[in-house]
């Protein structure tokens, strides 16, 4: 048995040293370490070894196993490295004159709606701001007048990173940074991906898009807010849109509203799409709370402003008649590529 174990080791070493490509390692693993492999056969034979030798032989076989595993791993790492290097150094050549074989790409419906809104708002003097998906408690909550333990946080549970940072729950998280960067007066929109701890179904996603907008200047009032929202929505839906404001509570606006649009399907008569109310909830908004302006370094004696948080995902669903929110993140190209009208 001892001799047999040694022979097997020699046989393994020889085979392994002959291996040229990482893909061949698997065959060796099966031959030696597989269920019906050479080592397993040795283990079965161990039964027949006289009791006083069992311990020694058993130990030898164990050492052999360890040797095989470690050598295979080392060889695999070595080969993979060489293969990667070869791939990097290989001089591939392309014939750029060949026609494209694949289908032309298409824009995601959210991108389409986002771009359309960006065009509309830039034509009204707003500029587009970018903001990160990772932020912190201050920007996402504190600076928006949502102190720790405020019940408004319950609706915005999110994903916390081990660094203490978090994934932003709404685009409002950028308000403070933008106020500090530009001061007043300012008109900006900032689209972005948001995250919340949600149970996913046809209407809820843990990852969705919003477009925030704010306008701060002297003498800004609710009528300015209504005007901009109505103009924007009429452009998006290519028809005159009726809007109404209902009171809505958000700690960072005072007064705060839910902006509804008259149902586009029944023109306000009531139908299943608007749950027979004639109206669809579309965009929370309001006059920026003085505390939020102060956090942003804005003189509240001189300036007022409005902010809105348009649900881009919601808008895309309405515009394109998408009934299930999960379509947006599923990556099904057949479903996502049908909205390119440009
Ligand atoms: N950030 C709020 C939300 O996501 C929406 C909002 C934005 C409300 C701006 C008022 C003003 O729920």
DSSP 283-342: EEEEEEPHHHHHHTT--TTT-EEEEEEEEHHHHHHHHHT---TTHHHH--HHHHGGG---
- Beta carbon of 190 within 6 Å of any ligand 1 atom: no
Residue nearest to atom 6 of ligand 1 (CA): 309
pLDDT recorded at residue 259: 93
Q: Ligand 1 centroid vs 229 CA: distance in angstroms?
A: 14
User: Is the Cβ atom of 192 under 6 angstroms away from ligand 1?
Assistant: no
Is the distance from the beta carbon of residue 285 to the nearest atom of ligand 1 less than 6 Å? yes
From the CA of 171, give the closest atom in ligand 1.
1
* Cα 130 to the center of its chain, rounded Å: 16
The finding on whether 109 has its CB within 6 A of some atom of ligand 1 is: no
* Model pTM score: 0.69
For position 341, what pLDDT does the model report?
Answer: 62
Q: Would you say the CB of residue 309 lies under 6 angstroms from ligand 1?
A: yes
DSSP string for 146-198: --TT-GGGGGG--PBPTTS-EE-SSGGGGHHHHHHHH-SSEEEEEEEEEE---
Residue owning the nearest CA to atom 7 of ligand 1: 309
Q: Determine contact, residues 264/233, Cβ cutoff 8 Å.
A: no
Cα(193) to ligand 1 centroid in Å equals: 14
C-alpha 150 to ligand 1 mean position (Å): 16
Q: How far is the CA of 248 from the centre of ligand 1 (A)?
A: 10
Instruction: Tell the burial category of 239 from Cβ atoms under 10 Å away from its Cβ (0-12, 13-18, 19+).
Output: exposed
Residue 108 beta carbon below 6 angstroms from any ligand 1 atom:
no
Cβ proximity of 204 and 198 under 8 Å: yes
DSSP string, 293-309: HHHTT--TTT-EEEEEE
Q: Is 156 in the pocket of ligand 1 (CB under 6 A)?
A: no
For residue 314 and ligand 1, the question of a CB distance below 6 A is answered with: no
> Cα(168)–Cα(174) distance, rounded to whole angstroms?
9
Which portions of the chain are predicted below pLDDT 50? Answer: 342
């Amino acid at each position: 048995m001892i001799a047999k174990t040694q022979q097997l080791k020699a046989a393994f070493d020889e085979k392994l040293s002959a291996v040229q490509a990482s893909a061949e390692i698997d065959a060796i693993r099966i031959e030696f370490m597989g269920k019906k492999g050479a080592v397993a056969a040795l283990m079965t034979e161990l039964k027949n070894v006289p009791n006083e030798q069992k311990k020694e032989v058993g130990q030898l076989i164990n050492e052999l196993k360890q040797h095989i595993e470690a050598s295979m791993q080392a060889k695999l790492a070595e080969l993979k490295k060489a293969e990667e290097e070869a791939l990097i150094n290989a001089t591939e050549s392309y014939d750029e004159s060949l026609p494209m074989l694949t289908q032309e790409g298409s824009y995601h419906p959210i991108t389409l709606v986002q771009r359309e809104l960006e065009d509309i708002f830039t034509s009204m003097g707003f500029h587009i701001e970018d903001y990160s998906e990772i932020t912190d408690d201050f920007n996402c909550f504190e600076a928006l007048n949502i102190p720790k333990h405020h019940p408004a946080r319950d609706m915005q549970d999110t994903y916390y990173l081990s660094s203490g940072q978090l994934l932003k729950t709404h685009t409002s998280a950028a308000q403070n940074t933008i106020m500090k960067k530009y001061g007043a007066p300012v008109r900006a929109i900032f689209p972005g991906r948001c995250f919340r701890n949600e149970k996913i179904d046809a209407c809820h996603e843990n990852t969705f898009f919003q477009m925030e907008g704010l306008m701060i200047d002297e003498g800004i009032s609710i009528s300015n807010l209504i005007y901009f929202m109505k103009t924007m929505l009429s452009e998006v839906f290519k028809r005159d849109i009726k809007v109404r404001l209902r009171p809505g509570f958000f700690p960072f606006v005072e007064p705060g509203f839910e902006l509804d649009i008259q149902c586009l399907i029944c023109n306000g008569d009531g139908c299943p799409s608007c749950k027979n109310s004639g109206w669809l909830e579309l965009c929370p908004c309001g006059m920026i709370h003085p505390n939020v302006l102060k956090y942003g370094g804005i003189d509240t004696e001189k300036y007022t402003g409005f902010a809105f948080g348009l649900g881009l995902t919601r808008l895309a669903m309405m515009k394109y008649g998408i009934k299930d929110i999960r379509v947006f993140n599923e990556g099904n190209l057949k479903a996502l590529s049908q909205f390119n009208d440009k």
